[in-house]
Amino acid sequence: MDVSIKQVTSRKDLKTFIYLPEKIHVGHKNWVPPLYIDEWKYFNAKKNKAFAYCDTILLLAYRGKKAVGRIMGIINSRYNEFRKEKTARFGFLETWEDEEVIKALLTHVEDWARRKGMTKIVGPYGFTDQDPEGFLIEGFESRATIATIYNFEWMPRFVEKQGYTKDVDYVVYKLDVPKELPEFYKKIYERAQRKANFKIVEFRKRKELKPIVKPVLSLMNECYSQSMIYGYTPLDEKEMKSLAKRYIPVLDPKFVKVVKKGDETVSFVIGMPDMTEGIQKARGRLFPFGFLRILRAAKKTKQLDLLLGAIKEEYRGRGLDVMMGVKMLSSAQEAGLEWIDTHHEMETNVRVRAEMEKMGGKIYKRFRVFQKAL
């Protein structure tokens, strides 16, 4: 049968769009479903603030009456104004191993983007860099984290056949949690505290996190904008509150570290125990008992996932990364965790990569964002 493309215009269509991947990935042992309660909010223009400054299109591919693929097109006008670009994005591309479906979906998004005046398209990418980005191209033997895409090995190859080329690669390191902290790290930690009056703040209760949400996300805005982080768009206050509301309930306060100089927040790092095995067992559903499986998995895991981190520009190179790293490793040791997934790091960020390798980290995953001129 020929492939037909239909725009998502109803709740029924959206339900098909949201749940299609779990049909495609049946038996795919390292794929992790999303938390569906979050998916319904993410694709709801009334609840996701990003829709206010983004043009979007959601498409489903059909063969006859059967849905066989999906894709989302995004034009982030705030990002384009910030970077002076005319770039569209594609994301959430899913299908069975069917090159014709991929071609039809990508072509429809490209045509939509051209009509909107765009000159380039990149993907896979969501509204912001807080969304999963890039197709996995190395590391298929490891399970996905909640912050990354897990695709079939053939997917990047099929996208390349449609004229797409590499835009940027991200690498992910795996770090072993040492039984004893290296002596030189302890010395750097003590020197950083002594010389500049830095104070590291740790947390035990979730309610203690609320006062630091705005300072932390404001610092992220400042640092990521200055560093021109790929795909980053500064968050407004409403988006900060939305992001906090999304993550605070699942964060373990022990794995949030903040450094202050006086009353000023100058750096932070956030991690969380891996809970993906529980999400798999719950099939992405919190109720009636899914949340218990997820909590149990977070307690049993041996893996810590890093999510976000930043250091104020004027204080970089002064040991703050070591201060936070020492405390994070200590918390990981106390929790019985054995290794750390560092999350995405741009392959061109040689400074951070050198630090990871100095700590004995090995690249175990690689993700690629593709681009195409329109």
CA pair distance 181, 30, nearest whole angstrom: 32
Binned at pLDDT 50, 70 and 90, residue 39 comes out as very high
95, with CB counted inside 10 A (0-12, 13-18, 19+), is: buried
Share of the chain above pLDDT 90, in %: 70
Binned at pLDDT 50, 70 and 90, residue 46 comes out as very high
CA pair distance 171, 363, nearest whole angstrom: 6
CA pair distance 177, 329, nearest whole angstrom: 6
CATH, residue 247: 3.40.630.30
Instruction: Tell me whether residue 345 is in a domain.
Output: no
Count of domains for the chain = 2
Number of H helices, E strands in the chain: 12, 14
Biggest distance spanned by C-alpha atoms of the chain: 71
Instruction: Tell me whether residue 126 is in a domain.
Output: yes
Q: Are residues 193 and 163 in the same domain?
A: no
| CA angle in degrees (0–180, nearest 5) for 139-145-149 | 70
Q: Are residues 154 and 195 in the same domain?
A: no
Q: How many CB atoms lie within 10 A of CB 371?
A: 14
Instruction: Tell me whether residue 32 is in a domain.
Output: yes
pLDDT at 188: 75
Q: Are residues 264 and 187 in the same domain?
A: yes
121, with CB counted inside 10 A (0-12, 13-18, 19+), is: buried
Range of 213's domain? Answer: 178-337
Q: Please, what sign has the CA dihedral across residues 327, 328, 330, 334?
A: positive
User: Using one digit for the tens of pLDDT, what is the confidence trace for 299-336?
Assistant: 999 999 999 899 999 988 888 888 898 899 999 999 99
Domain boundary among 148, 168, 188: 168
Tell me the whole-structure pTM to 2 decimals: 0.92
pLDDT at 227: 67
Instruction: Tell me whether residue 361 is in a domain.
Output: no
**Cβ–Cβ < 8 Å for 70, 94:** yes
CA pair distance 37, 125, nearest whole angstrom: 21
Helical axes 213-226 vs 237-247, angle rounded to 10°: 120
